[in-house]
Amino acid sequence: KQEVTQIPAALSVPEGENLVLNCSFTDSAIYNLQWFRQDPGKGLTSLLLIQSSQREQTSGRLNASLDKSSGRSTLYIAASQPGDSATYLCAVRLYPGTASKLTFGTGTRLQVTL
């Protein structure tokens, strides 16, 4: 059974700092991994999707890496801003093709302070 763990559960950093969020999964036979952010009372916004054959994906100040063999992914946020405050979730998908279900971690709640 796939289990996804995110560390830390909560993080507070001052504006401008670079930070890393961690995600680990127990079954390395994943098809892809997706990072989301969730703002309070809102839905999930997809940030980055990494296929199992890829090592990293970048979008603006965000960089996600994937080490499938060790069951780890990291989300790097550069030059953090107060608007980055949200809960960040990683989720893995086991099967290709018709897009199987996602298995989620419990998330990291990030607060970026002024």
**What is the number of other CB atoms lying within 10 angstroms of the CB of residue 90?**
30
Residues between 50 and 109 with contacts to other proteins, criterion CB under 8 A: 51, 89, 91, 93, 96-107
> Minimum distance between the CB of residue 32 and other proteins, rounded to whole angstroms?
7
Q: How many residues in the chain?
A: 114
Query: In the complex with other proteins, which residue's Cβ is closer, 16 or 55?
Result: 55
**What is the number of other CB atoms lying within 10 angstroms of the CB of residue 34?**
19
Instruction: Give yes or no for a contact between 49 and 34, defined as CB atoms under 8 angstroms apart.
Output: yes
Query: In the complex with other proteins, which residue's Cβ is closer, 11 or 49?
Result: 49
Instruction: Give yes or no for a contact between 38 and 53, defined as CB atoms under 8 angstroms apart.
Output: no
> Minimum distance between the CB of residue 8 and other proteins, rounded to whole angstroms?
15
55: left (phi over 0), alpha (psi -120 to 50) or beta: alpha
11, 13, 44, 62: which one binds other proteins (CB under 8 A): 44
Instruction: Give me the residues that bind other proteins (CB under 8 A), please.
Output: 4, 32, 34, 36, 41-46, 49, 51, 89, 91, 93, 96-107
